[in-house]
Structure 1
Amino acid sequence: MDLQLAGKVALVTGASAGIGRTIARMLAAEGCRLAILARRRPLLETLAAELPAGAGTLVLAEDLTDPGSAPRIRDAVLGHFGRCDILINNAGGSRGQPPGELGAEAVWQEAMELNFHAARRLTHALVPAMRAGRFGRIVNVTGPDEPFSINPANAPNGATHIWAKALSREVGRDGITVNSIPPGRIRSEQIDARVMPDEASRRAWAEKEVPAGYIGQPEDLAVLAVWLASPLARYITGQVIHVDGGTRRSSN
């Protein structure tokens, strides 16, 4: 199937590893021109070298928690490509707390800054250009907002889903869609290092919690992100679509 993405300009944040890196590769394979962003420039440069020459890749080493980063990124992308059609807000991270602890104020503030405000600021900076082009795809890779435990990342996930829904109603007539994808357990740096560092723990989790029977790979989520970024997904907006192998128990 032709996703009609050839020549589209996409900005992927958190592109240095895992889900973001995989989404960038898939978008490039579909013919997108790419801006890739993260804090670790060497990993971005390695990725850029792997992408097709036609991607014309722009490498942006930025810390999105810096409030001044959004206008810098906007100006760099628009200055290089002339437009931005697709924004993949993938940068973020979990902030779990030890059992019985509620967490320091600084941890909660940092989690909200990284997992909500950073993507909101960057999106708001780029929406005017998308409106001018009468096309835009905004895909937020978020996380679950089900309160399994005290995790400072849960509140920003919920905030992102509500903000994205409101934004989708604001920009829908401009040809812009806004959707969110909360991943379940997907193999990544964070999951492998912090949550399930060995194969035995991954197998035990999958057997107990995942109806699909395995921990997902980045490709399992990236295929949805790329589809939502395409012109074909024009009637899908304001949605929160879980990619978790059936782990989530709620039906809505």
Structure 2
Amino acid sequence: MTPPTSEPTRRIRLIIIGDEILSGRRQDKHMPKLIELLSQRGMQLAGAEFISDDRDGIAATLQRSFAGGDVVFCCGGIGATPDDQTRQAAAQALGVPLRLHPEAERLIAERCAEMARRDSGSADMSTPENQQRLQMGVFPEGAEIVPNPYNKIPGFFIRDHTFMPGFPIIAWPMMEWMLDTRYKHLHHRTTRVEHSFLAFNLPESRITPALEHLERQWPGVKAFSLPSMGTGHPHIDLGVKGEPEAAAQALAYLRAEVERAGGSLTPPE
């Protein structure tokens, strides 16, 4: 299942699907969690999108995403109610039919049997309720299941896209499982560090030329500048991200440039 280790470093992206996020009824928790999981494995998030539950809109986003070659985690919209359109949109984007996955069918039947043993439903898969539950195992043709340790109802994987429910208690173990099985070969492929410091008594416009020079001098290093707003001593949070040795050199250069430009590395008295 794991691709060869000679594969170059891959971009990791996140797609969050759900009107409830865009309307503010719920707050997204997946992005900070994925960033945490990636960081623990020496990886980083390259981008995130938030889109609505509109099938054509999801399909257009996924069609572009499938063509991009990135590793993508998609959260939301894989249930069986009318507002869940992700499974259908993924099939539409790929131009393939939807099929009931046999392993998903078995797992959903197991879940129904477990619920029946707790006097919460029926183990008879011909009932309307259980037929509706089986819709959650209908995936684009060619998809593989993603195991769900919480309640067995799986997500699915196809073309380097992992589709999970919106519930964090279900989605997060799925993310972790995928990172530690299918994408284990991507762990710690590159070593990157981030350094920052505060600069005082310095307008951002005065240090910008140094930031531009820094990225030309050390092409693998990215500089950042975050000015303060509001109370306290005005300052800029300046920093660099990149390979350790180059980032250390760039950081030393940037600190020296702050002082050369008349700024200070310590707050005023």
TM-score range, shorter chain: 0.3 to 0.5
The structure whose residues are more often strand, as a share, is 2
- Give the structure, 1 or 2, with the largest relative contact order (CA under 8 Å, sep 6 or more): 1
The structure whose residues are more often helix, as a share, is 1
TM-score normalised by L of structure 2 = 0.35
